[in-house]
Structure formats: structure tokens, C-alpha cells
Structure 1
Amino acid sequence: MQRRHFLSTVAAAAAVSVSGMAMAQDTRPLRVIVPFPAGGSTDMVPRNLQDVLGKLLGQPVIIENKAGAGGSIGMAEVARSTDGLTFGIATLSTHGVNPAVYAKLPYNAIEDFVGVTEIVKAPGVIVINPKLIPAKNFAELVAYLKANPGKVSYATPGNGTIGHMWGAQFIKATGVDMLHIPYRGAGPAINDVMGGQVPVYFDQVASSLPHIQGGKLRAIAVSWHERLAVLPDVPTYKEAGHPELNDPSWFGLVAPKSTPAEQVARVQKAVADALKDPAVKKRMDAQGMYISGTSSADFTKQIASEVAKMKSVASSANISVN
């Protein structure tokens, strides 16, 4: 009896060992879907990690851009995947704003996914075209907007985007009156701000930084708990008297709900380890992004919290997309 029990225990342990080895030695490509176009902030994050992550996992990491409908097309494809090898880059837009503003989504941000990890925090920034608005700081900008009610417009990547939400929060907090100009993407929006068609833009630091450093845009305030190393002269919203605007954006990794727990844990650990690589950290820092690497459980809870928060903002500002 004891011998049979011993042998069954050994067999079970061997099976677990073989299963673990099979997963560890899986050389099939890991697929990471970016639900926005190449070249933007969302795309930068996994590409900063790609090589190091592939080495840590022992398998190729392939990044695919599946843009459209505010990130909904790519996220829906992630949600439908059942191969255990498909992951997606989640953002405050896809897993916070979209569920709050779209009447219908082809995915459920909470029920269809498991959070793998938050990869980075991404501070936001309000920028202006200095040729159109003479303001040098936050107080001067607010004073200018109040002196010109309804005459100043602000650009965003589109209706119901995080830029739109940030603009609505800014307007409510400061009591100004601005006209929203939605674009079909971040590229056209920021190009028109630099070109002088629209004077104000709400963006993430990562994508505006080169234009700020090049003098084409002036940064007025950033949403972070302290001044950024890449923009040391730009105050936080809290310093400007509006701590309620100080929440940053973020980028994380999610997997379909059906993904095996051991696979989620394996990828989470690899991402956390990749974020400790000095070269990865240097690239993230240079782009104004701050590494995180949270647990799967914490990131899953964070997504639910962000959806609730954005629903409150959308309701207050009467923002919806049909």
C-alpha cells in the first residue's frame, strides 16, 4: 500500500516536472498585440522590452499592431484568443476609458481578461503652441483661457480618448470654457497643434517629449507625483494647485481569461525581470515612462478600479461614443 502511494506520488511529481519543462522550453512565438498604430506611446512600451523579454522566456516575442476603434479591434482579438500565447498591451484607454464611453464594445475589459502586470506609468502633460498662446505657466494659461471663454480650442486623438477625458477634467477643475477638436489619431492632432491650427493639446509625455525638447511645444504641467527628470522645469498639476489632475496614464500586459495561470505567472515574472535590465530602464526613462512590474492580482484589481473611475468622469462630463 505504502509502495503504491510512493509510486503514485513520484509519477505525479514527474508529470508536473515534465509539464513545467514543456512550458519552459516552448519555443513557439509569444504574440503581443498592440491595439494602436506603430510609433506611438503604446507601441514604444513592448518594443523597449522585446529583445530582453524574448531571451528571458527562451522564445521569440512578436509584436503586432492591430489598430482601430480606439484600441477596441486589437483588444477584441486578444480576448478571443485561446492559444495561451497571445497577450495584449492594455492602456488606460482600452481598459478604463473605452468601457466608460462606448455604448457597445466587442470585449469586456474586466470579464474577458486577466491582468498580467502593469509595465509602466506614463505621466500626462498639457502642452500649448507658444506662438498662439503667450502663457509661460499654468496660472497664465488659466488666466488666458478665462479671458477668452469659448475662443480657445484643444486637440485630442478623438472623441472618448484619454486626451478627451483629461481635457474634460481640466475644464471642470479650472472652470474654463474650451472647444474640443477631436482628430482621427494622435499623429494628426499633434501635427496640427505644432502647425498652429489648434493651440492646446492633452497628451502623454512620451509622445510629446521630442517636440517639447525641440521648442515646438511648451509644456505647462505634468501628471506625476514629482517633477520629471526629462522635464525638470515643468511643475506637476499638484504644484499648480490641482492635485485631482495628477493621475498618470499607464501601460500593462493582459491575457485572455482562458490563459493558464502558470503561463500568466511565467510571463509576469519575465516582464518584471526585463524591467530590471539597465538598458530597458534607460530607454523607458528617456521616454518619460516609469517602470512598474506589479503582480497579476494587483493589476487585475487596478483595471476594475480604473473602469469605475473613468465611468464617473464620463458621466460628469457627459462623454459618450455610440
Structure 2
Amino acid sequence: MRVLSRMNKSLLVAFAASVVSVSALAQGWPTKTVTVVVPWPPGGPSDIAARPLSKGLTENLGESFVIDNRAGGGGNIGTAAVTRAAPDGYTLLITSSAPIVINPSLYKKMTFDPLKDLVPVTNLLRAPLVLVVSPTLPVKNLKELMAHIKASNGKFSYASSGNGTPQHLTTELFSSVTKLNMTHVPYKGSAPAIADVLGGHIPMMFDSTIAIMPHIKSGKVRPIAISGAQRSPLLPDVPTFAEAGVAGIESYAWYGLFAPANTPKDVIAKINAEAVKVMKQPEFTKIRSETGSDFVGDTPENFSKFVQAEAARWGKVVKESGATVD
């Protein structure tokens, strides 16, 4: 009995020490540079969320939050790197929804399971997508665009920011609903896709208001319709798809903050609290206003439920559209 008692005391001491250690980790975080992986090329919409957040965290917490752009594989390469990182709060992920809730249904083989290998921390931005065309295209509304695509007899191409991105899947949804035949030209990120649409090399693409608004304002692309349930205050003259005569197309681009699975809950809670604090500051508020995003800062628990619902939703879209990258 004395031996058992000693063992119980030892276990209790060890447990107490581990609790104190985790709590101390959360209280002390961060004590060194934090790497924020963005699994897309520099200049894309994920950067629009990542850079002001990282800047705000650096200023508020006194340690550097450094952006590491690791593009490739439709966001899978950089995301996989985060799932393999130490779960200590010093490697974080800021990404669009693609590698989290779309790619698992789109790719036959994945080296990670985002719903198991990552912890959702908070949503950062959520914005509708806009269907835009090159000004060289002789169309001014959705009806004219659909007629033009139909007349091209399968030779019409569209750009996207990569296989499995919301931009890609929203176009596949549009193609499925309208029964239009188009050729997908994927790029490694939103920035190079937009560049080719601006250059007139590709006639059409969907992109978030976050990425495309500067080019709409400058007249370098022509907006046709928006994928939100209501018109965007940024584009009051651009109709929703339902208003333009095509029901069943509602889609949003969202960008979230994640950490490796098994990161201590106290650390996740602190990261969440500090991120939401930055999201309420003037610089980030300005970004939300300029990109047409509502405030979407949330608890890890609520964001996790949102991510799971999105995974089910986009999995259904992938199956029904027949989209694949393999």
C-alpha cells in the first residue's frame, strides 16, 4: 500500500508539473520569433490577412511574427509543413479555405488530415467572390457572357488561383449550374492568375473582393456578378447571381488562422485572444472595410464548427461537379 501510495504521489506530482509547465508556456508565449506560414505566393489574398495580423501581433507582443510564403500543391505544401511543426505556438498557418475544407475531397491522396492535424484558432476575413472578365471581352453582363461562352464551343478558358481553391470550385459550380463547357487554367496563387487576366491572356476568373477590388476600381477588369447572398457595399452596382438570373451560386472566400494539432489549449486561447485584439485595431478594421469583409473573429470552438460545416459543404460541391486534380 505504501508503494502504491508513493506511486500515486509521484503521478500527482508529475501531473501537476505538466499542468504548471503548459500554463507557464501559455503565459510566456511568445518568447521568440513566431513563423506564420502562408501556403500561397507573396501578394495573394491570404497575405492581405496575414501581413496586418503579423504586424499587429509583433507590435503588441514584442516578438517578431515572420511571414513564410510556401506555395505549391494548391496550398497543400505549406499546410503540410505546419502539421509537422512542433505544437508549441511558434509555427502558425494563415490560409484560404482550400487546403482545409476543399482539397481533402479534391485530392485522392493527402499527406495530412486538416480536420485532425490542425487546430482552428479564428476566422480572419470572409468575403464574396466576384466574376470578372477582361475588358477586351465583348460582354457587359452575365447573360451576354454565358452566350459568349456557349458560342465558343468548349474553347473558352478561365483562370483560377489554383486547383481546389474557392475560385476554382466556384467556377466549377457555375459551370455545373449553367451547363457551360470551359477549360480550367490553374495558377500558383491569385496574383499570377489576375496578372494574366489583366494582360488579356485569359478572359475570365472568379476572385474574392479582397484580391480583385483594386483592379475593378482601376477599370482593368469588368465585374459581371457577385457570389454573395446580397450585393457588396463595395460594388453596389454589381448584381448577385440570383439577381442576374442564375440561382444556386453562393460562395465566399475566407481566410483563417490555424496551429498544429496538440498545441496546448492555453496557448491556443492566448493566440486567439491576441489575434482578435489585433482584428479590432484600426489597421485591420481598414483592411476589412476595403475588402468587404464583416468582422469574423471568433472562439476556437466556434471556428472549428464552422470549418467542419464548410468541409461537408464543399465536399458535396466537389462530388456533384466531378472536379478533380488527380
Question: So what's the TM-score if we normalise by structure 1?
Answer: 0.87
Counterpart-to-counterpart distance in 2, 1:289 and 1:43: 15
Counterparts of 1:200-215 in structure 2, within 5 Å, are 200-215=204-219
Shift in Å, 1:116: 0.6
Q: Give the aligned residue type for 1:95.
A: I
- What is the one-letter code of the residue matched to 1:131? T
2: CA distance, partners of 1:204 / 1:214: 16
**CA-CA distance at 1:140 after TM superposition:** 2.8
Q: Which moved more, 1:17-26 or 1:229-238?
A: 17-26
Per the alignment, residue 113 of structure 1 pairs with: 118
Question: Are the structure 2 counterparts of residues 190 and 55 from structure 1 closer, same or farther at C-alpha, using a change threshold of 3 Å?
Answer: closer
| Displacement of 1:165 | 0.9
- How far is the alpha carbon of 1:168 from its aligned partner? 0.9
Structure 2: gaps spanning 5 or more residues: 1-14
Q: Match for residue 91 of structure 2?
A: 86
* Alignment partner of 1:246 is 2:250: yes
Q: 1:24, 1:57 within 8 Å by CA — same for their partners in 2?
A: no
C-alpha distance 70-260 of structure 1, shift in aligned 2 (>3 A): same
| Corresponding residue to 2:127 among 122, 128, 133 | 122
1:140 aligns with 2:141: no
3-state SS, counterpart of residue 114 of structure 2: coil
User: SS of the residue aligned with 2:325?
Assistant: coil
1:208-223 mapped onto 2 (5 Å cutoff):
208-223=212-227
Matched, 1:305 2:309: yes
Q: Is the 8 A contact 2:134 2:220 kept in 1?
A: yes
Instruction: Provide closer, same or farther for how the CA distance between residues 53 and 237 of structure 1 changes in structure 2, counting only shifts above 3 A.
Output: farther
1:154-210 CA-to-partner distances (Å, cap 9, x unmatched) read 122333333221111001222323232333443332222222222111112222222
Aligned partners of 2:18 and 2:185: how far apart in 1? 59
Listed as ranges, the matches of 1:152-171 within 5 Å are 152-171=156-175
Q: Aligned to 1:111, what secondary structure does the other structure show?
A: helix
Deviation at 1:13, TM superposition (A): 11
Partner of 1:175: 179
Counterparts of 2:111 and 2:19 in 1: how far apart (Å)? 37
| Compared CA separation, residues 158 and 91, structure 1 to 2 (3 A) | closer
Query: Which 10-residue stretch deviates more, 193-202 or 209-218?
Result: 193-202
**Aligned AA (1:250):** W
Q: Tell me the secondary structure at the aligned position of residue 240 of structure 1.
A: coil
Specify the code of the residue in structure 2 equivalent to 1:202.
F
Q: CA RMSD in A?
A: 2.5
Report if the CA contact (8 A) 1:224-1:246 is conserved: yes
Given that 1:95 and 1:306 are in contact with CA atoms closer than 8 Å, whether structure 2 keeps it comes out as no
Contact 2:41 2:189 in 1 (8 A): no
Pairing 1:188–2:188 present: no
Q: 1:191 to 1:62 in 2, by over 3 A?
A: closer
Bigger drift between 188-197 and 79-88 goes to 188-197
Tell me which moved more, 104-113 or 277-286.
277-286
Moved more, 207-216 or 228-237: 228-237
Flag the 1:170–1:24 CA change in 2: closer, same or farther, 3 A.
Answer: same
Distance in 1, matches of 2:149 and 2:325, equals: 27
Structure 1's unaligned 5+ residue stretches are: 1-11
| Aligned residue runs from structure 1 range 52-91, under 5 A | 52-84=56-88, 85-91=90-96
Quickly say closer, same or farther: Cα 1:235–1:51, change in 2 above 3 A: same
Equivalent positions of 1:228-307 (< 5 A) are 228-307=232-311
Residue by residue over 1:84-118, the C-alpha shift from the partner in whole angstroms, topping out at 9 and shown as x without a partner, is 12111132111112111111112101111111111
1:225 aligns to what? Answer: 229
In 2 relative to 1, CA 113–15 (structure 1 residues): closer, same or farther, beyond 3 Å? Answer: closer
Q: Residue 160 of structure 1: SS of its match in structure 2?
A: coil
Q: Kindly state the Cα deviation for residue 21 of structure 1 after the two structures are TM-superposed.
A: 5.9
Deviates more, 1:12-21 or 1:31-40: 12-21
Does 2:201 match 1:197? Answer: yes
Looking at structure 2, the residues matched to 313 and 99 of structure 1 have their Cα atoms a distance apart, in angstroms, of 12
In the alignment, which residue of structure 1 is the partner of 2:7? none
Q: CA offset at residue 36 of structure 1?
A: 0.8
Q: CA deviation at 1:22?
A: 5.5
CA distance in 2, matches of 1:73, 1:19: 29
Contact 2:71-2:188 at 8 Å conserved across structures: no
Structure 2 length-normalised TM: 0.86
Q: Structure 1: how far apart are the matches of 2:279 and 2:245? A: 33
- Partner of 1:245, secondary structure, is coil
- CA distance in structure 2 between the partners assigned to 1:62 and 1:181 by the alignment: 31
Q: Partners in 2 of 1:18 and 1:104 — Cα distance? A: 37
- Deviation at residue 16 of structure 1 after TM alignment: 7.5
Q: Does 1:32 align with 2:43?
A: no
